[in-house]
Amino acid sequence: MIVDDNELARGTLRQLVKLDNGLKLVAECGQASEALTVMGANKIDLLLLDIEMPDLSGIDLVRSLGHQRPLIIFVTANRDYAADAFDLNVVDFMTKPLTAERFLQSVLKAKEIFRNQALFSGSNKDDFIFIRDAGTIRRLRLNDVDYLEAKGDYVKIYTSSKTYSIYSSLKSVEDKLPADLFIRIHRSFMINLNKIEAMDGSTVIVNKTFVPVSEAYKPALNKRIQIL
């Protein structure tokens, strides 16, 4: 779906979408509030979203969507929003005017994340997930995972014997892992609660590895491990 209050900009995006046969334009909206209504009635996988709009900004729209949201690509003329945009774990941040090459590169990135989201699934009963690592689909037992680390556009999954790398955001992975087993302890780190060996100040030791704990996440961690 395209969301931009500028009709010319919507037209440009409409033409760019036609360059990729794998994309289907479900709707286009001139206001963010209108987009909320459309998303309530349709399944949207990818949102091409402007930021500066009169009724509700693109950034505020994303914040209002919560965890169950489509993939987001911001499209704006103002580079100053880049930091705020990536804090929201969006797929990409494109500045106008757009080129076909840059647009297709961004879409390719979104498709890869979408495929990983579809694969990164399992069940508490089976206690496993499937991941796409270097083009290979692998089955991974949840209890083998020590911790996870965000590294740019990738998430590294550390086990005692091997490290895997998947193309995704840590937030997306967090939403799919069982909350009774995994907890976020830092903007860039999640850990398996069963693998904690010790805590020392702002650090936890997981399988002999020191993993940082930020002050923002420390209260939730302390509550979960029930320190006596």
Instruction: Classify 123-225 by CATH class.
Output: mainly beta
Please give the Cα distance from 207 to 144 (Å, whole number).
11
The residues spanned by each domain of the chain are: 2-117, 123-225
In the predicted model, residues of the chain with pLDDT beneath 50 are 123-125
Choose which CATH entry (3.30.70.20, 3.40.350.10, 3.30.1490.100, 3.40.50.2300) describes domain 2-117.
3.40.50.2300
Give the per-residue pLDDT at 123: 47
Give the per-residue pLDDT at 89: 79
Which tokens go with 72? 């987001």
